[in-house]
Amino acid sequence: MDIAQELLNGSKLALSRAITAIENEHDDAVDIMKKLYPHTGNAFVFGITGPPGAGKSTLTDKLAREYRLMGKTVGIIAIDPTSPFSGGAILGDRIRMNDLTLDEGVFIRSMGTRGSLGGLSRKTADAVKAMDAFGKDIIFIETVGVGQSEVDIVKAADTTMVVLVPGLGDDIQAIKAGILEIGDVFAINKADHEGADRLNVELNMMLDLGGMTKDWRPPIKQVVANQGKGVTELITTIEEHYAHLKTTGQLTTRRTERTKNEMLDILKNGISTYITNHITASGQFDEYVKDVEDRRVDPYSVVNDILKGMLK
Amino acid sequence: MEKRIRVLVAKPGLDGHDRGAKVVARALRDAGFEVIYTGLRQTPEQIAEAALQEDVNVVAMSILSGAHAHIFPKVVNLLKGKGMDDVLVVGGGVIPESDIPALKDAGIAEVFTPGTTTGTIIDFIKANVK
Coil, strand or helix: which one is B102? Answer: helix
Q: B107: exposed, middle or buried (C-beta count within 10 Å: 0-12, 13-18, 19+)?
A: middle
Nearest residue, CB atoms, B52 vs list A16, A88, A110: A16
Q: How many domains does chain A have?
A: 3
3-state secondary structure at position B87: coil
Percentage of residues of chain B with pLDDT beyond 90: 94
Domain shared by A180 and A284, yes or no:
no
- Identify the pLDDT of residue A29: 94
Q: Are strands B58-63 and B34-42 parallel, antiparallel or unpaired?
A: unpaired
Nearest CA-CA partner of B88 in B111, B115, B65: B111
Q: For chain B, give the number of residues.
A: 130
Partner residue facing B37 (CB), from A13, A90, A112: A90
**Record: contact A110-B36, CB cut-off 8 A:** yes
Interface test with A, best of B55, B58, B87 (most A CBs within 10 A): B55
Boundaries of every domain in chain B: 6-119
CA distance linking residue A45 with residue A42, whole number of Å: 9
Of A248, A279, A296, the domain-final residue: A248
B62 — pLDDT class (breaks 50, 70, 90):
very high
User: Which pLDDT does position A117 carry in this prediction?
Assistant: 65
Pairing of strands B58-63, A185-188: unpaired
Asked if A165 and A193 count as a contact pair (C-beta separation under 8 A), the reply is yes
Task: Give the model's pLDDT for residue A121.
Answer: 63
Using the 3D structure, point to which of A248, A280, A302 is the last residue of a domain.
A248
Contact: B29, A86; criterion CB under 8 Å? yes
CA of A92 vs chain B CAs: smallest distance (Å) = 5
pLDDT(B98) > 90? yes
Report the C-alpha gap between B20 and B11 in whole angstroms. Answer: 10
C-alpha closest to that of B64 among B26, B14, B128, B22: B14
Whether residue A20 is contained in a domain is answered as: yes
Q: Which of A146-150, B74-78, B90-94, B99-103 has the lowest mean pLDDT?
A: A146-150
Judge contact between A35 and A64, C-beta under 8 A: no
Check: CB of residue B129 under 8 Å from CB of residue B55.
no
Sheet holding A159-164, edge to edge: A106-112, A74-80, A138-142, A44-49, A159-164, A185-188, A220-222
Is there a single domain that holds both residue A48 and residue A30?
no
Predicted confidence at residue A148, as pLDDT, reads 47
What is the pTM (predicted TM-score) of this model?
A: 0.91
Average pLDDT, chain A: 89
Instruction: Answer yes or no: do A16 and B39 touch at CB < 8 A.
Output: no
Chain A interface includes B18 (CB < 8 A) = no
Contact A102, B48 (CB under 8 A): no
**What residues of chain A lie within 8 A of the CB of B44, using their CB?**
none
Question: A193, A216, A248 — which closes off a domain?
Answer: A248
Question: Residues A123, A153: one domain?
Answer: yes
Same-domain check for residues A276 and A219: no
Residue A74, in any domain of the structure: yes
Helices vs strands, H then E, count in chain B: 5, 5
Q: Average pLDDT over chain B, rounded to whole?
A: 95
Q: Does the residue A78 lie in any domain?
A: yes
- A51 shares its domain with A169: yes
Residue A255 resides in a domain? no
Residue A137: which residues within 8 A CB-CB, separation 6 or more?
Answer: A42, A43, A44, A67, A72, A73, A74
Task: Test A94 with B50 for CB contact under 8 angstroms.
Answer: yes
Determine, for residues A24 and B4 on separate chains, whether the beta-carbon distance falls below 8 Å: yes
Q: Which of B29, B36, B45 sits opposite A94 (nearest CB)?
A: B36
In this complex, the residue of B35, B39, B52 whose CB is nearest that of residue A91 is B35
Are the beta carbons of B55 and A112 separated by less than 8 Å? no
A136 and A63 in one domain? Answer: yes
Confidence (pLDDT) at A205: 83
pLDDT for res A212:
60
Rounded-to-integer distance, Cα A111 and Cα A154, Å: 18
CA distances from A19 to A28, A125, B91 (A): 11, 11, 27
**Domain at B6-119: CATH code:** 3.40.50.280
Task: State the pLDDT at residue A62.
Answer: 97
**Separation in Å, CA of A247 to nearest CA in chain B:** 35
**A145 within a domain of the structure (yes/no):** yes
What pLDDT does residue A179 have? 64
- Residues of chain A under the 50 pLDDT cut: 148-149
Instruction: Indicate if A14 and A130 belong to the same structural domain.
Output: no
The shortest C-alpha distance from B98 to chain A (Å) reads 33
Residues A28 and A86 in one domain: no
In whole angstroms, what is the distance from residue B31 CA to residue A89 CA?
Answer: 9
Residue A130 lies in a domain: yes
pLDDT average, residue stretch B64-83: 96
Residue A253 resides in a domain: no
* ipTM, 2 dp: 0.94
Q: What is the pLDDT of residue A50?
A: 85
Please indicate if any CB of chain A lies within 8 Å of the CB of B35.
yes
pLDDT at residue A277 in the model: 85
Q: Are A154 and A214 in contact (CB under 8 A)?
A: no
pLDDT in tens, B10-35: 999 998 899 999 999 999 999 999 99
Q: For residue A162, what are the domain limits?
A: 40-248
Say yes or no: B118 contacts chain A, CB-CB below 8 A.
no
